[in-house]
Structure 1
Amino acid sequence: MTRIIADISVSLDGFVTGPEPGQDNGLGTGGQALHTWAFSDDPADRRLLREGTARSGAVVLGRRLFDIVDGPKGWDDTTGYGAGEVGRPAFVVVTSSPPESVRLTGLDWTFVTTGLRDAVAAARERAEAASADRGADLDVVLMGGGATIASALDAGLVDVLTLHLAPVVLGAGTPLFTGAVPRTLVQRDVVTTSTATHLTYDVH
């Protein structure tokens, strides 16, 4: 069964970027510390990254995040999604208008202009097709940014929330849960490594 999984790194004070994020500084000042776990040599971190990216049948992201990863200082062969841990899932971008051009032409991009719900539905179709091809259940992963994940949670589109809690206090930046719809989650898994606490919740 294809699940919708929101997966994001967050600071102890609830920020998913540091202060002043932008095109050339996508994670904001100090925000790189949020993703230390993804480049760690800790065996548990490597396993979680490998398992998380391997289950990705399709990936949803917002337009601001797309502009960062497709920008001149964005992804390359060493810093792309999963960074050597997975093949190339389909990517679905929520946007008001498609970009005029794409730098990362080797990736499968779909641009959905009719809202987040339609983008998630399109990603589910791609993930289900990939599941049939591979003969294994694959999921839709919402990788961000923070506003996209928060909106998906508020809209009831998410089945599982995975937070990678980094041991850093950023003080400011992009908050994940400001103004969120109140809800109680079911804790499913906690993995503590040398670089982060990985939390998994079922969303009902």
Structure 2
Amino acid sequence: MTRIIADISISLDGFVTGPDPGPENGLGTGGGALHTWAFSDDPDECRILREGTARSGAVVLGRRLFDQVDGVNGWNDEIGYGAGEAGRPAFVVVTSSPPESVRLTGLDWTFVTTGPADAVAAARERAEAASAAGGRDLDVVLMGGGATIGSALDAGLVDTLTLHLAPVVLGGGTPLFTGGMPRTLVQRGVVRTPNATHLTYDVP
């Protein structure tokens, strides 16, 4: 069965970027420390990253994050979601207006202008099609940014929340949680690695 998984790195004080993020500094000041684990040679961290990519039948991201990864200093053949893997998932972007052009034309992009719920529905269709073609269950992964995941959580669209908790206090930036209804999650897993603690929760 296809699950909707929100998966993001976060600081101890709840930020998914450092202060002052922008087009030339997508993760903000100090925000690169959030993703140290993803670029590590540690076997457990490599495994967690590989398993996350392998389960992805489709990936949802917001427009600001798309502009960063599709920008001149963004993803390439060596750096990016699924880089170096045999296959890459479809990508669905939540946006008010599609871009005029796309640099990363080798990836499968869909732009949804009618909100997160429709973006998740489109991604589910792509993931279920990939599951049927591959003969194994694949999931929809919400990779960010923080506003996209926060909106999906508030709308009740997320089945599982995976947080990669980095041992850093950023003091500001983009928060993942900005209010909304209180909720109690169900803890399903904790994995400690040298550069992060990886937390998995079911979202009732």
- Aligned residue pairs, count: 204
Equivalence map 1:22-171=2 (5 Å): 22-85=22-85, 87-171=87-171
Q: Is the 8 A contact 2:82 2:88 kept in 1?
A: no
Gaps in structure 2 of 5+ consecutive residues: none
CA distance in 2, matches of 1:156, 1:84: 33
Deviations 1:157-194 (A, max 9, x none): 00000000000010010001021321000000000000
TM (norm. structure 1) is 0.98
Q: Is the 8 A contact 1:150 1:180 kept in 2?
A: no
The percentage of counterpart residues that share the same residue type is 85
Question: After TM superposition, where is structure 1 displaced by more than 3 Å over at least 4 residues in a row?
Answer: none
Distance 1:6 1:86, change over 3 A: farther
Distance 1:96 1:103, change over 3 A: same
CA distance in 2, matches of 1:63, 1:50: 25
Compute the displacement of 1:83 (Å): 3.1
CA distance in 1, matches of 2:193, 2:180: 28
Question: Which amino acid is the alignment partner of residue 27 of structure 2?
Answer: L
Equivalence map 1:175-190=2 (5 Å): 175-190=175-190
CA distance in 2, matches of 1:3, 1:65: 22
Gaps in structure 1 of 5+ consecutive residues: none
Distance 1:86 1:23, change over 3 A: farther
TM (norm. structure 2) is 0.98
Compute the displacement of 1:86 (Å): 5.4
Q: CA RMSD in A?
A: 0.8
Compute the displacement of 1:85 (Å): 4.0
